[in-house]
């Protein structure tokens, strides 16, 4: 907060400390007329007085400096400047020897800040304390601010806090709020203190009042503690703890707890995110998400990504890398909200993986790579146990440089199992494994050409075509006797070829003396043909009886430097229909207006019914200053209704702003309101 800098300025600029004394020869004095009394060492300056010392500049109509006593007095529109910071008043007295001083009708302002501090009298008694009488604080333009805090007296400890009593908050010249006591940091470092409260209204929670307290624990740790009052649910307590560690390690821990008297039990959530950098080649990352009950996010989630999420996942990952190898250890616990309960959800506790990147074998054209993992799976109902899966591969890389690139590979999936809790009659063996070979190849080329355009900005176009064909074969093996934890337990029989082409279009742009290169479009078109076997496509639930796969189109086009169009689609050639579509457009004018529109549809290839179909839209603009308007909505066609719409409006004045947001959510409409004073309350952080 720049208010802390202002307090330091009052101490360092207005009143020099006793340890910083100046002899007459240290002060440069300029004026229209000036005389020096040798008897008492007094210098009198009149008319356009300018005094310079210690990096400071004082201007006044007249001034007197006594060399023997160290007393400096200036009168008539006194202005003191230091590094762009300014303090002005009617007159000032300074004692250069002990740092004491007094200014009448003072106004202080800080460079690159809107904070203004006024005082009928500003007195400094020692090195660290100030007393401001009949003082006012505002971030609005003077002399007629839109709002201000007024106090009869403000006691400032430059090593701690500024404390005032009997504070009155004014809008214009009308008093609207009485505050018996207030304290705010008076030093440059962050300080503990109350932040501005937030108000809200929700059909599920009633009237809401959120009062946050900011707590500085140390230079590398802080926390925000929220008291969340909800008239329909109770009083909740939220904590958001943040910390920094050495080597760029960091993290935060967020928690919320409330005794929900609507359901008569304690409810809460814990979220933790941590990144620990042990060394440049070893790190740990964790994301812990736990709730007391499966309906907590539905009732208390603030964002659409919270209240309608499919699962709540806790993930811990450790990574160690070498030049050609990587070792990982993962732990994953999931709460499946789409299931009736979590008894059948597979938990990975833990999984250890080893990867070897493709590396050349001596001086031959052969390359070796490996993916391997040892996993421990657990679930309350159903088979649990351990799995070892390794996929070593040998690749032959060849081709004609500049014309053709070819890669042929051969590998084998090695799997071993130790299984517990086997249901009777399932046919699963307690100890089992198998080997499934896989071979494949890829052929690709690159054709490019540069075209001269010589437009106003676009000078050249570069077009590149990359045709590609790939083949994959995996033998058919019965795997029904193996437990099923994920798709690695059901490797499908494949004898399939994929063919396609990718088009890249880029441009050279000239803006004055600056040359820039930008992508203009990327288009990828591909299809597959299965000689026998099957395919796995999680997007469209492929019909195994069809030999031809969907035609896949992926595009990304920059319609304008400010607008981008994306379009992903799949076309079912057997039923002559689109099986998947995801068009979207994004716009940003660099002046505060953003807009996006996206649609997604996925159709089940077997039942011909739509599985997922929704539309998302967002618009935000600052063009109607001082107003900012925002709108976000998500409409579900398959569920037949709007999932959520959010309308927001902000009115921003030079020194204050008001925010209003209306959330239209099925079963829980709500409204939130916040009022911010520029430079004082708009930097606060809360749990939400």
Whichever domain contains 47, its CATH number is 2.60.450.10
Instruction: Calculate the alpha carbon distances from 182 to 47, 359, 420 in Å.
Output: 42, 66, 64
Give the count of beta carbons closer than 10 Å to the beta carbon of residue 484: 14
Instruction: Tell me the C-alpha distance between 351 and 331, whole Å.
Output: 6
**522 part of a folded domain:** no
How far, in Å, CA of 11 to CA of 20, rounded? 12
Place of tokens 């304008």: 560
Per run of 10 residues, the mean pLDDT along the chain (length 688 residues) is 49 41 61 85 89 84 88 89 79 80 80 71 72 82 83 75 82 85 61 73 85 85 91 92 92 94 92 94 95 87 66 94 95 91 93 94 92 96 95 90 88 95 88 94 93 89 95 90 91 92 93 88 94 66 70 91 91 88 92 93 64 90 92 87 89 85 83 76 41
Residue 452 lies inside a defined structural domain of this protein: no
pLDDT for 233 equals 92
Q: How far apart are CA 318 and CA 332, in angstroms?
A: 12
| Structural domain contains residue 132 | yes
How far apart are alpha carbons 35 and 306 in whole angstroms? 76
pLDDT of residue 23: 40
| β-bridge pairing 458-474 and 494-511 | antiparallel
User: Do residues 414 and 390 touch, judged by C-beta distance below 8 A?
Assistant: yes
CB 33 within 8 A of CB 46: yes
How many Cα atoms within 13 Å fall on the side-chain side of residue 344? Answer: 8
Residue of 332, 336, 333 whose CA lies nearest to 352: 332
Q: Is residue 309 part of a domain?
A: no
Tell me whether residue 65 is in a domain.
yes
Closest CA relative to residue 204, chosen from 674, 669, 671:
669
On whether residue 521 sits in a domain, the answer given is no
Dihedral Cα 17, 23, 29, 34, nearest 10 deg:
120
Spatial distance between the Cα atoms of 458 and 454, rounded to a whole number of angstroms: 6
Find the Cα–Cα–Cα–Cα dihedral 572, 573, 574, 580, rounded to 10°.
0
pLDDT at position 502: 96
Residue range of the domain that includes 94: 2-191
Whether 307 maps to a domain, the answer reads no
- Mode of pairing for the β-strands spanning 347-360 and 366-378: antiparallel
H or E element: which one contains 135? strand 129-138
pLDDT reported for residue 14: 47
- The answer to whether the beta carbons of residues 664 and 126 sit under 8 Å apart is no
43 domain residue, yes or no: yes
Counted domains in the chain: 1
Tell me the CA distances in angstroms from 638 to 4, 199, 582, 600, 611, one per residue in order.
55, 35, 15, 11, 7
143 CB-near residues (< 8 Å, 6+ apart): none
pLDDT value, residue 15: 43
Per-residue pLDDT at 20: 34
d(CA 562, CA 593): 10
Angle at 275 between CA 271 and CA 281, to 5 degrees: 155
Question: What is the C-alpha separation between 256 and 183, in angstroms, rounded?
Answer: 27
């Amino acid at each position: 907060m720049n208010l802390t800098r202002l307090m330091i300025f009052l101490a360092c600029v207005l009143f020099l400390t006793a340890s910083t004394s100046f002899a007459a020869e240290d002060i440069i004095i300029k004026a229209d007329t000036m005389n020096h009394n040798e008897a008492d060492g007094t210098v009198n300056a009149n008319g356009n007085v300018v005094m310079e010392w210690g990096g400071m500049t004082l201007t006044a109509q007249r001034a007197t400096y006594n060399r023997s006593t160290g007393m400096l007095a200036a009168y008539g529109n006194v202005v003191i400047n230091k590094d762009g910071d300014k303090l002005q008043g009617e007159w000032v007295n300074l004692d250069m020897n002990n740092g004491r001083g007094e200014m009448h009708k003072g106004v202080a302002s800080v460079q690159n800040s809107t904070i203004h501090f006024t005082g009928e009298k500003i007195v400094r008694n020692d090195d660290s304390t100030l007393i401001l009488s009949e003082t006012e604080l505002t971030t609005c333009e003077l002399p007629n601010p839109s709002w201000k805090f007024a106090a009869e007296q403000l006691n400032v400890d430059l090593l701690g806090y500024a404390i005032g009593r009997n504070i009155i908050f004014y809008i214009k010249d009308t008093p609207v709020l009485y505050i018996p006591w207030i304290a705010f940091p008076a030093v440059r470092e962050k300080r503990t203190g109350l932040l501005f409260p937030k108000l809200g209204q929700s059909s599920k929670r009633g009237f809401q009042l959120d009062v946050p307290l900011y707590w500085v624990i140390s230079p590398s740790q802080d926390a925000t503690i929220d008291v969340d009052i909800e008239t329909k649910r109770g009083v909740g307590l939220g904590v958001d703890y943040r910390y920094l560690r050495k080597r760029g390690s960091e993290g935060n821990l967020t928690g919320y707890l409330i005794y929900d008297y609507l359901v008569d039990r304690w409810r809460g959530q814990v979220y933790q995110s941590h990144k620990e950098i042990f060394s440049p080649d070893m790190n740990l990352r964790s994301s812990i998400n736990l709730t007391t009950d499966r309906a907590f996010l539905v009732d208390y989630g603030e964002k659409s990504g919270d209240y309608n999420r499919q699962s709540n996942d806790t993930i811990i990952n450790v990574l160690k890398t070498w030049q050609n190898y990587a070792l990982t250890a993962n732990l994953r616990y999931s709460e499946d909200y789409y299931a009736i309960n979590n008894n059948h959800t597979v938990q990975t506790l833990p999984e250890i993986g080893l990867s070897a990147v493709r590396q050349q074998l001596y001086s031959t054209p052969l390359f070796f790579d490996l993916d391997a993992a040892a996993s421990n799976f657990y679930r309350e109902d159903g088979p649990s146990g351990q799995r070892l899966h390794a996929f070593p591969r040998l690749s032959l890389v060849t081709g004609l440089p500049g014309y053709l690139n070819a890669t042929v590979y051969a590998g084998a999936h090695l799997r071993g199992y130790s299984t517990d809790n086997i249901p009777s009659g399932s046919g699963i063996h307690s100890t089992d494994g198998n080997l499934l070979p896989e071979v494949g190849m890829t052929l690709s080329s690159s054709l490019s050409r540069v075209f001269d355009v010589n437009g106003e900005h676009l000078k050249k176009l570069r077009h590149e075509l990359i045709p590609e064909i790939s083949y994959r074969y995996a033998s058919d093996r019965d795997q029904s006797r193996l437990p099923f934890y994920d798709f690695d337990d059901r490797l499908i029989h494949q004898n399939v070829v994929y063919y396609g082409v990718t088009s890249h279009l880029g441009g050279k742009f000239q803006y004055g003396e600056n040359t820039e290169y930008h992508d203009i479009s990327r288009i990828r078109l591909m299809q597959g043909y299965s000689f026998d076997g099957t395919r796995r496509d999680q997007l469209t639930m492929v019909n195994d009886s069809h030999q031809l796969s969907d035609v896949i189109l992926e595009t990304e086009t920059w319609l304008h430097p400010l607008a981008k169009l994306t379009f992903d689609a799949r076309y079912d050639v057997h039923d002559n229909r689109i099986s998947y579509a995801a068009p979207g457009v994004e716009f940003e004018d660099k002046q505060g207006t953003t807009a996006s529109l996206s649609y997604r549809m996925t159709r089940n290839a077997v039942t011909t019914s739509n599985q997922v179909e929704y539309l998302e839209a967002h618009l935000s603009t600052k063009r109607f200053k001082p107003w900012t308007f925002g709108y976000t909505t998500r409409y579900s066609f398959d569920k037949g209704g709007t999932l959520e719409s959010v309308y927001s409006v902000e009115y921003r004045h030079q020194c204050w702003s008001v925010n209003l947001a209306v959330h239209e959510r099925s079963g829980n409409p709500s409204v939130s309101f916040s009022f911010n004073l520029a430079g004082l309350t708009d930097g606060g952080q809360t749990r939400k």
